[in-house]
Amino acid sequence: MKRTTGTDRSITRTWRPATQAVRAGTWRSEQGETSEAIFMTSGFTFDSAATVAARFAGEEQGMTYSRLQNPTVAMLEERIALMDGAEACRVQATGMAAMTTALLCQLSQGDHVVAARAAFGSCRWLVDQLFPRFGIESTTIDARDNAQWEAAIRPNTKVFFFETPANPTMDIVDLQFVCDLARRHGITTVVDNAFCTSALQRPIEFGADVVAYSATKLMDGQGRVLAGAVTGSADFINNVLLPFQRNTGPNLSPFNAWVVLKGLETLDLRVKRQSENALKVGQFLEGRVPKINHPGLASHPQHELAAKQMDACGSIFSFEVEDRAQAFALLDALTLIDISNNIGDSRSLMCHNASTTHYSVSAEARAEMGVTDGMLRLNVGLEDPQDLIEDLDQALRQAGL
Ligand SMILES: *Cc1c(COP(=O)(O)O)cnc(C)c1O
């Protein structure tokens, strides 16, 4: 393998994000390929017994086994780290593998976690269902309220865990405030940045310690693979996360890593265009539906905070109709937008969260976080926004709106 300028941190650190997204982390084989090679191999062979011994001992750089390291996966990790402004990154098989790894690698029995109550269903499941089985305590709070973060801290609080914007309520968490508070108390912040990616929001710039992703969403962005990523300091990634990951094995396939590498090349373009489209569609829906939760609109109670910490509003927002029956009628009347619980895709997708993404969350927890029976979440894709507006217009009329 030959190094390119993409593997020299003294150079890649000086590149702007759009350049990093296309080139950072690239290694080339002796063939000189332009696109990153896919190393679809579980193991590696060695010239001598001493070579592999030196690699296992950490005395020599190089591949040993794809659960420990893989060249295609390593290219993706370097690229995501640089784009996030982080020292290091490890990728996982799914976003939930990333969340589980980022949390369990550092938590032990008797630790306490403060978590945002508005969260992706499986993230809430980790906090509500998994943590108690291992003696990990938690408090879930209204994460929009800075005072609740402070009030929830206990002597054994180890981690703050939240997403911003939250899926699907679009609650915004004040990154600067919460990260500063955590720093003062020696608490590690774990931020789920799936709705933004580094193209829109870089939590590390606000002092976040660990950033975790579903790369299935905007990073792949074309509905092809499941993937996850965790970024942070070299110390956290190498000394806390890596021993956990190497021994529990939530690894990403080299093929899927390659697909995400291709996705990152167009991330900036897609996310910016999808944000523009989402704003146009949101402006159309505002006033036409009883409630809209869209951080790009002035009607969002935290619009100014969103504008401060995000470069654009993103592709995803939610809105509310009367009840489940009207929500289903609207979904069933769509002719262009697909009914799908995925997000971040270049296709526009809509779903009813209470019966899909948040089905695993108790009815009480759904009510508390504001996932109502009339709530619908829309991911706005790369189609012409006028076609999306026309589809929504006819579907709203059929649903009686
Ligand atoms: C989708 C999602 C996840 C889980 O990611 P998968 O790749 O589906 O495992 C976690 N957090 C948020 C905010 C998500 O939207």
Note whether 253 and 284 are same-domain residues: no
What per-residue confidence (pLDDT) applies to 392? 98
Computed on alpha carbons and rounded to an integer, the radius of gyration of the chain in Å comes to 21
N-to-C CA span, the chain: 60
Kindly give the distance from the C-alpha atom of residue 56 to the centroid of ligand 1, in angstroms, as a whole number. 33
Write down the pLDDT at residue 7. 86
Q: So what's the pLDDT on residue 196?
A: 97
Q: Is the CB of 226 under 6 A from ligand 1?
A: yes
The CA–CA distances, whole Å, from 371 to 46, 138, 160, 344, 351 equal 54, 21, 22, 20, 12
Q: What integer pLDDT is reported at residue 360 of this predicted model?
A: 86
SS3 242: helix
CATH number at 374 reads 3.90.1150.10
Question: For 42-79, how does the pLDDT look when each residue is reduced to its tens digit (9 = 90+)?
Answer: 999 999 999 999 999 999 999 999 999 999 999 999 99
Rounded average pLDDT over 98-127: 97
Residue-wise pLDDT for 304-320, tens only, equals: 999 999 999 999 999 99
pLDDT of residue 150: 98
Contacts of 122 (CB under 8 A, 6+ apart): 96, 99, 360
Give the mean pLDDT of 116-130: 95
* Pair (99, 14) in one structural domain: yes
Average pLDDT over residues 335-352: 98
pLDDT category, 183, cuts 50, 70, 90?
very high
For residue 227, which atom of ligand 1 is closest to its CA?
7
- Measured in Å, residue 225 CA sits from the centre of ligand 1 at 12
**CA dist., res. 226 & res. 216, Å (int):** 5
DSSP-assigned beta bridge partners for residue 135 = none
Give the pLDDT band (50/70/90) at residue 160.
Answer: very high
For residue 260, report the distance from its CA to the centre of ligand 1, in Å.
15
pLDDT at residue 50, rounded to an integer:
97
Tell how far CA 196 is from the center of its chain: 7
* Alpha-carbon gap, residue 255 to 261, rounded angstroms: 10
Alpha-carbon span 360 to 124, nearest angstrom: 9
Say if residue 233 is in the same domain as residue 220: yes
pLDDT at res. 53 = 96
Whether residue 100 is found in the same domain as residue 81: yes
What is residue 4's predicted lDDT score, i.e. its pLDDT?
76
Q: Judge if 56 and 69 occupy the same domain.
A: yes
- Domain identity same for 220 and 170: yes
Does residue 117 sit in helix, strand or coil? coil
Domain end among 265, 287, 303: 265
Question: Ligand 1, atom 2: nearest CA belongs to which residue?
Answer: 214
What tens digit of pLDDT does each residue of 321-330 get? 999 999 999 9
Residue 94 has pLDDT above 80, yes or no: yes
Q: Whole-angstrom Cα distance, residue 132 to residue 135?
A: 5
What are the structure tokens assigned to 334, written together? 């769509």
- Say whether both 157 and 283 belong to one domain: no
Residue 219 belongs to domain spanning: 2-265
Ligand 1 proximity of 161 Cβ (cutoff 6 Å):
no
263: nearest Cα among 214, 230, 309: 214
Q: How far is the CA of 338 from the centre of ligand 1 (A)?
A: 19
Q: Which ligand 1 atom sits nearest the alpha carbon of residue 357?
A: 1
Assess whether the C-beta atom of 170 lies below 6 angstroms from ligand 1.
no
- For ligand 1, pick from 96, 162, 230 the residue to mutate: most ligand atoms within 8 Å of CB: 96
Same domain, 244 and 336: no
Which protein residue's CA is at the shortest distance from atom 6 of ligand 1? 95
Question: By alpha-carbon position, which residue is closest to atom 11 of ligand 1?
Answer: 120
pTM recorded for the entire structure: 0.97
Evaluate: CB of 94 within 6 angstroms of ligand 1. Answer: yes
Total domains, the chain: 2
CB distance 120 to ligand 1 below 6 Å: yes
Using 50, 70 and 90 to split pLDDT, how confident is the model at 103? Answer: very high
Residue 69 beta carbon below 6 angstroms from any ligand 1 atom: no
Shared domain check, 113 and 151: yes
For residues 83 and 106, membership in a common domain is answered with yes
Cα 158 to averaged position of ligand 1 atoms, centre (Å): 23
pLDDT digits (tens, 9 = 90+) for 356-369: 999 988 899 999 99
Of the candidates 222, 243, 265, which is a domain's last residue?
265
CA of 397 to the centre of ligand 1 (A): 32
Does the pLDDT of residue 212 top 80, yes or no? Answer: yes
Distance between Cα 226 and ligand 1 center (Å): 9
CA 344 to chain centre: 10
Among 220, 244, 265, where does a domain finish? 265
d(CA 346, CA 383): 8
**pLDDT, tens digit, 9 for 90 and up, residues 266-315:** 999 999 999 999 999 999 999 999 999 999 999 999 999 999 999 999 99
174 Cβ closer than 6 Å to some ligand 1 atom: no
190 and 43 share one domain: yes
With a pLDDT cut of 70, the percent of the chain lying above it is 99
State residue 361's pLDDT score: 85
Residue 174 and residue 204 in one domain: yes
CA of 3 to the centre of ligand 1 (A): 33
Residue 1 has pLDDT above 80, yes or no: no
CATH classification of the domain holding 50: 3.40.640.10
Distance 195 CA to ligand 1 centre (A): 9
Q: Which 3 state secondary structure label does DSSP give 66?
A: coil
Q: Report the alpha-carbon distance of residue 370 to residue 51 in Å, rounded.
A: 57
Give 95 Cα–ligand 1 centroid separation in angstroms: 5
**Ligand 1 atom nearest to 167, measured from its CA:** 13
Burial class from Cβ neighbours inside 10 Å (0-12, 13-18, 19+) for residue 37 reads: middle
**In this predicted structure, what is the pLDDT of residue 5?**
79
Distances (CA, A) of 340 to 238, 349, 384: 37, 5, 19
Encode pLDDT of 213-237 as tens digits.
Answer: 999 999 999 999 999 999 999 999 9
- For residue 246, the CA-to-ligand 1 centroid distance in Å is 22
193 lines ligand 1 (CB under 6 A): no
Ligand 1 contact, 191 CB (< 6 A): no
